[in-house]
Chains A and B, each alone.
Chain A
């Protein structure tokens, strides 16, 4: 029991770490660790998907794990040769505030891990779709019946992750499969810290992570088998790495960003929103001339790195759906509609967004802090906004606009009806980590006379 448990827990980390460190040896350790689990699980889920689509799932354990272990070993060898290039983030002693924040974050993470592994699978989407799919894959060892499953056309990255965990145990366990959730939550925290450290000092980076941890809704979602937090990790990860790529002028980062965006699209259709926001951010950075010195050929290469993985995965998924007789979309759901109440619906959605930001217990005071620091940045401090801050703010605006558009141009509003307020919290969760990210950068600019970046 313990061997498969630790294997399921650690192998994605190891695989992801050696992949990231093998290709990008000069990334900071926190960033590598933050990317590891998501990247490793992405590789595993995609590999399982490829195997399943050619119907070799019955041989799952050896066929699935031995090639992955071989890849991990080869890349580990490469990592060893780059061991001197590693950087360590402990340049000075932790202050009292930093220790307090660190302890606060660790204690909360431990609580999340405890709760996630204490309760069995529950909750509507988990029982009815996400985990049900993986349970069917586990017992049937085939994607043959996929067309009979609920939301058959939806991407199933998360279901494949649960399936992989259960396959390692050779039995279905409702509780153990949920170790994925706290691992993604921990990775999100590490990734946020790693990215923030590239822009601001350690104290403010820890404060940013503390702000994310102190929001009840993401914390709760780290304990249930839902897809939104995982989507949030991939979408925000893709955007953060893109911003980092711009900031450090390293187009090589765009490939990680593109891979994360592709995985986001494979988690949920809403991942396409993240993809769109990423392209808008790239476009707006061109306008702001961050990459003005880059030649046209390089722009094409960057765009291929950003969109290529998602397009490749999309085409393979489309091929899979046609081969297995799965409908391309959900009838009555994944269609475009033009409502006659366009403006009224838009105002209604914006109002609901504001209500959710301000008077729900989902986010604590995070949106208040965000609005206050934005106000302070514009009207009081009046220092030129840092690049990362501009990008963070733009992404949040793009997300709000895209999600309002989602409800205006699809039947979602009429399907959900009066209960619209409820799924909206989950939509906001998908980009919520950008709020503490942006707030932390702005906070340093407000509190320090000579803010970095």
Chain B
């Protein structure tokens, strides 16, 4: 019973502190998940709430207030310590529930749960410039599944986001090799946003795919004839 009371105390103090910061419970339940949903493979960041408040400051504030009340309620030193530790665990789980709610709502944007399918392919599936889709289009026009192409681009492919674009395109195209994995002579060239594109394609190459954004695939004559 003591721990049930403590749970209620700390949860209430969490919402009370948030309210004092200008975030009533209903608003908080909408805003906090959004602020905590910024997660990537390298870190999970805490976003600020609309008024500029940091969710961690609410967490710390509610822990302090809840602990002060818990200290007044209990005189036994060891029990006080237990109450404080328990309160921190409760707040940790409250924080996590908001965070996971944010992650699930973020997931919901990409995934149609009822239909069990991806509805927004752009973000997760393809990355910038949709390399997955581009790779599939290129593969369709190539005469063989295993080929080696040179890769030319005006994009600075040693800097993000083009660094990712180049690597992602290479990954999705494989076994069409544009990263020089296999040794030997190349069968053609892939041009990605190259300025003055038709002019830079060597004369011994035949263009087999030309897209709007200066994307082209040119193969050596003998290879192009096999299509």
Contact = CB atoms under 8 A, between A and B. Distances in A.
A362 B164 contact: no
Contacts of B42: 422-423, 425-426
Contacts of B95: 364-365
Interface residues of A, number: 57
Contact of A446 (B38, B82, B103, B104): B82
A122 B127 contact: yes
A216 B82 contact: no
B164 A127 contact: yes
Contacts of B213: none
A376 B85 contact: yes
Contact of A369 (B89, B125, B180): B89
Q: Is chain A's binding surface mostly helix, strand, loop or mixed?
A: helix
A316 interface: no
B155 to A, nearest CB: 16
Interface string B73-103: 0000110011011101101110110011001
A214 B96 CA distance: 6
B135 to A, nearest CB: 11
B85 A372 contact: yes
B128 to A, nearest CB: 11
B141 interface: no
B124 interface: yes
Interface in B95-134: 95-96, 99-100, 103-104, 107, 110-111, 118, 124-125, 127, 132
Contacts of A293: none
Interface of B: 36, 38-46, 56, 59, 77-78, 81-82, 84-86, 88-89, 91-93, 95-96, 99-100, 103-104, 107, 110-111, 118, 124-125, 127, 132, 146, 164, 167-168, 170-171, 174-175, 179-183
A196 B111 CA distance: 37
Interface in A46-102: none
Given A131-B171, A425-B42, A118 B85 contact: no
A220 B96 contact: no
Contact of B59 (A215, A365, A443): A365
A447 B167 contact: no
Contact of A360 (B44, B82, B85): B44
Given A119-B124, A365-B88, A369-B92, A360 B183 contact: no
Nearest to A369: B88
A362 B43 contact: yes
Interface string A366-382: 10110011001000110
